[in-house]
Structures are given as structure tokens and as C-alpha cells.
């Protein structure tokens, strides 16, 4: 079934699994259901059947979980549904669902899931261009994460969102620091996954209920989905952008200060140096990194024509 990538058949298996595992241990049932939904969401056919089909499957699974007193599973699935709403740009629906979950989890004092809720809320508000609320939700997420252990993957995503918020505020130096931390963390997660380790276990979510179906890649804007590799690419791309913008800030100084600094390496050179680092070298030939290199060259040459050409050449399929 998985080999044939049959989304319809898999959706029936999910329904059957709920019936067959009604009397099984809740932890094992939750792990099975979440794994099956993860598989369904990964199938290309689920997009044609499919994004609507995924919403329906998650809705039915949440209702079933609450009716059978599997509250933790219901909460995890609700977060998955909120992430799905975010991925398909149903921002109001995502916020409505997250706002319903927040009081419930605060009563339970579940810091792990609260961290996810606040982070998803921050991402959603950022998509709606509401920076003050995005920043407030991010602060709440970091506060919740600070009182418990969160895995490296979650910490990296918190750092990535922190970098985005600081970049929106024009604090490129602080943003670069956050992107750098996020990039290192995501590379470590990716290395663990490639070695066959528990790459997603470090998320610290789900307890005995299995993996949490949260499409972080879609949420933060990486073009390759939720994998740590594509998210690391996103962090690297934003690092390069910060290098370029730091150079622009430097050039806004008065002429005397600029003259003094002209003997320092330019940020275009910094971009090249950054991409020579071992962790970044594997992404050096990626299209999105090439786009940042083209922008850096145009800026170093002070050539508006080159900048416009870069925008034209790399706009298609880019995630800015």
C-alpha cells in the first residue's frame, strides 16, 4: 500500500486501526495512529485527495480521541491540524484552534505542548504580518521551553523564529546569531537522522504518543517541507541575507567612518567565507544559496542591473 502510495487505502487503514486498537494501551494506540497519519500526509496523493482529505482525517481522529478519553493524543492531533492549516494558509482557522488549546494545556501545565502552541502561533501571526503578536507568542514559547528540557530540533526552530523576528525589526546582528545557532542545531539533527538515530525524538513532544505531525518546514517557509535539511538551508540563506544587510547598514555611516572601514573584508567576501565552512559547504551549490550569492555580488559591485537580474533569474520557485 505504501509502495503503491495509495492515499485512499491508507485512509481506510487509519479508520480500521482506530477500531482494532480501541482496547489496546493508549500509548501504543497513539503512536500507531500518529505514524499512520504521518505516512498519509507524506503521500503526494494526499494533496489531491488530500489537503482536504488530511483535514477530514485529522478532524475525525481528534473527535475519536476525545470520545475515547485519549486527551493527549487529541491535543497532539490538534496541533498537527493547526500546523496543516498554517501550511495551506488558513491562518484564521489555525489561530482559532490554537487559542482553544492554550487554556487546556495551561491547566495541565504541559510545557512541551505549550512551547509548540506558542511557536505555531508566532509563525501564524508572522504570516499575517502582525509582528507585535508574533514577538509576544515567541517570548511565551521561549519562556515555556526554558522551564523544561526541549530537544535540539525544537530549540533550533525557536532560534530560527527568533532570527526572523529580529530581522524584521532590523537587528541584523542579533538575527544572524540566532540563525547561526539554528543552522548548527539543525545540522546536528540532520546528522543524527542520517546515522539512523532518533532525529525527531529530541523534539521532546508526544510523550508515549509517538511523533508529532507538525510541518515545520512549511511553517517557517522552507521550500522543501519539514525536513531538518531544508530548514537548515533556510537558516543558512537567512544568515547570508544578514551578512548582506549588515554591509548595507555599514554603508549608511558617514563617509569618514566608511573610509576607515574600507580596509576590512567586505560582506561579499564574508558570504564566500561563510560558505566555505564545512557545515555550509554542502549547500553551496543549492539554488537558494546561489540566489543569495548573486545578490551579494550585485551589492558588492553596487550594480542595480545585476540585482534586478538576480531577482528575475531566481524568483521562480524561491521562498523569500
What are the φ/ψ torsions at residue 205 (nearest 5 degrees)? Answer: -115, 160
The confidence band for 129, taking pLDDT boundaries of 50, 70 and 90, is very high
Angle at which helices 267-275 and 287-300 pack, to 10 degrees? 160
Tell me how far apart the terminal alpha carbons of the chain are, to the nearest angstrom. 37
What pLDDT does 35 receive?
A: 83
C-alpha–C-alpha distance, residues 310 and 293, integer Å: 9
Positive/negative CA dihedral, 187, 189, 193, 196: positive
90 versus 211: which is more confidently predicted?
Answer: 90
For 67-76, what is the mean pLDDT?
88
For 176-192, what is the mean pLDDT?
90
What kind and span of H or E run contains 153?
A: helix 152-168
What pLDDT does 27 receive?
A: 79
pTM, full prediction: 0.78
C-alpha–C-alpha distance, residues 219 and 221, integer Å: 6
What pLDDT does 287 receive?
A: 87
C-alpha–C-alpha distance, residues 208 and 200, integer Å: 13
Q: Map residue 45 onto helix, strand or coil.
A: helix
What pLDDT does 5 receive?
A: 54
Cα 96 to Cα 91, 93, 287, 293: the distances in Å are 9, 5, 36, 40
Are 3 and 11 spatial neighbours (Cβ–Cβ below 8 Å)?
no
What pLDDT does 1 receive?
A: 46
- For 238, the grid coordinates are 537567512
Q: How many CA atoms lie within 13 A of 163 on its CB side?
A: 26
Are 120 and 82 spatial neighbours (Cβ–Cβ below 8 Å)?
yes
- For 23, the grid coordinates are 482496547
Lowest-confidence segment of 38-42, 116-120, 172-176, 266-270 by average pLDDT: 266-270
Residue 129: CB atoms within 10 Å: 8
CA triple 64-65-66, angle to 5 deg: 90
151: left (phi over 0), alpha (psi -120 to 50) or beta: beta
Amino acid at each position: 500500500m505504501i509502495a503503491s502510495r495509495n492515499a485512499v487505502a491508507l485512509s481506510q487503514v487509519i479508520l480500521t486501526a482506530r477500531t482494532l486498537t480501541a482496547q489496546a494501551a493508549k500509548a501504543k494506540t497513539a503512536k500507531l495512529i500518529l505514524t499512520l497519519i504521518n505516512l498519509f500526509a507524506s503521500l503526494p496523493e494526499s494533496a489531491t485527495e488530500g489537503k482536504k482529505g488530511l483535514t477530514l482525517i485529522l478532524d475525525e481522529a481528534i473527535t475519536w480521541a476525545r470520545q475515547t478519553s485519549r486527551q493527549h493524543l487529541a491535543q497532539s492531533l490538534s496541533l498537527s491540524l493547526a500546523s496543516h492549516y498554517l501550511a495551506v494558509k488558513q491562518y484564521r482557522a489555525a489561530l482559532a484552534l490554537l487559542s482553544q488549546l492554550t487554556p487546556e494545556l495551561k491547566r495541565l501545565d504541559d510545557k512541551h505542548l505549550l512551547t509548540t502552541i506558542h511557536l505555531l502561533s508566532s509563525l501564524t501571526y508572522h504570516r499575517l504580518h502582525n509582528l507585535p503578536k508574533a514577538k509576544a507568542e515567541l517570548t511565551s514559547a521561549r519562556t515555556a521551553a526554558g522551564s523544561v528540557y526541549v530537544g535540539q530540533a525544537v530549540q533550533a526552530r525557536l532560534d530560527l523564529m527568533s532570527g526572523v523576528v529580529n530581522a524584521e525589526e532590523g537587528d541584523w546582528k542579533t538575527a544572524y546569531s540566532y540563525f547561526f545557532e539554528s543552522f548548527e542545531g539543525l545540522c546536528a539533527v540532520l546528522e543524527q537522522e542520517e546515522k539512523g538515530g532518533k532525529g525527531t525524538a529530541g523534539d521532546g513532544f508526544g510523550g508515549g504518543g509517538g511523533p508529532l505531525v507538525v510541518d515545520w518546514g512549511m511553517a517557517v517557509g522552507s521550500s522543501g517541507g519539514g525536513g531538518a535539511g531544508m530548514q537548515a538551508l533556510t537558516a543558512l540563506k537567512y544568515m547570508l541575507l544578514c551578512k548582506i544587510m549588515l554591509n548595507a547598514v555599514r554603508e549608511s555611516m558617514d563617509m569618514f567612518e566608511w573610509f576607515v572601514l574600507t580596509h576590512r573584508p567586505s560582506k561579499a567576501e564574508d558570504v564566500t567565507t561563510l560558505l566555505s565552512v564545512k557545515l555550509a559547504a554542502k549547500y553551496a551549490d543549492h539554488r537558494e544559496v546561489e540566489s543569495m550569492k548573486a545578490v551579494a555580488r550585485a551589492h558588492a559591485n553596487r550594480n542595480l542591473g545585476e540585482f534586478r537580474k538576480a531577482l528575475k533569474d531566481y524568483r521562480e520557485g524561491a521562498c523569500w
